[in-house]
């Protein structure tokens, strides 16, 4: 019998992760951590630590679907104290790419990456989170070095495409849309599940 496994996912990936788990029919429980902690990376470390302390007593293995996300290695220090693993990577959006995020940045310096979650939550996570609704002149300071937007689209939703184009207009940047689907993320989670002795 395989181990009892939980997935602890960043809120920006929890919806997609749950879709993959359901589609595969895995007997795995998915738990989330607020994606809005990205506005203050120490909260990522603190909340993941709390969640892992709680889940460890109930599961044999925990897959943490998180990039480093600005924690400077502190997230991995937390994971080392628990029966938990996470995929290699600095940013979670790179898991939707067939090529490395660094390759894209090297070719097109100043690329800003959008995902379905970020497009869906742009007003709250970016405009409100960075205070641009209250101090609109900060937009130039935050985004002045950008040269373009790359929307890594997991689901071809016309409403999200319209919002992405609105974001591009707001920032005054060209927009490119690449349909990634969930395949790259699914393959990554499958690898972690296999290591956790789950029947995949």
The domain ranges of the chain are 5-92+182-195, 99-179
Q: Which two tokens stand for residue 20?
A: 């993959």
d(CA 173, CA 185): 27
Angle at Cα 121 formed by Cα 119 and Cα 126, nearest 5°?
90
Q: What is the pLDDT along the chain (200 residues), one digit of tens a residue?
A: 457 889 999 888 888 999 999 999 988 999 998 888 776 777 889 999 999 999 998 998 899 998 888 788 899 999 999 988 888 777 777 777 766 656 766 776 788 999 999 999 999 999 999 999 999 999 999 999 999 999 999 989 999 999 999 999 999 999 999 999 988 889 888 888 876 655 44
d(CA 65, CA 86): 6
Looking at the domain that runs over 5-92+182-195, which CATH code has it been given? 3.40.50
Predicted TM-score (pTM) of the model is 0.83
């Amino acid at each position: 019998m395989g181990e009892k496994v939980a997935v602890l996912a960043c809120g920006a990936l929890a919806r997609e992760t749950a879709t993959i788990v359901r589609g595969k029919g895995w007997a795995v429980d998915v738990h989330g951590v607020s994606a809005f902690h990205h506005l203050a990376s120490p909260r990522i470390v603190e909340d993941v630590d709390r969640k892992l302390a709680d889940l460890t007593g109930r599961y044999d293995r925990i897959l943490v679907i998180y990039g480093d996300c600005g924690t400077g290695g502190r997230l991995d220090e937390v994971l080392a104290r628990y029966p938990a693993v996470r995929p290699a990577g600095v940013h979670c959006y790179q898991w939707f790419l067939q090529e490395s995020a660094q390759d894209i940045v090297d070719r097109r310096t100043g690329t800003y990456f959008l995902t379905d979650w970020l497009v869906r939550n742009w007003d709250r996570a970016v405009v409100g989170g960075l205070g641009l609704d209250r101090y609109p002149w900060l937009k130039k300071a935050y985004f002045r070095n950008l040269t373009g937007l790359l929307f890594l689209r997991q689901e071809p939703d016309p409403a999200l495409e319209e919002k992405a184009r609105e974001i591009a207009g707001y920032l005054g940047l060209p927009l490119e849309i690449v349909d990634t689907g969930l395949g790259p993320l699914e393959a990554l989670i499958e690898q972690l599940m296999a290591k956790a002795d789950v029947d995949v």
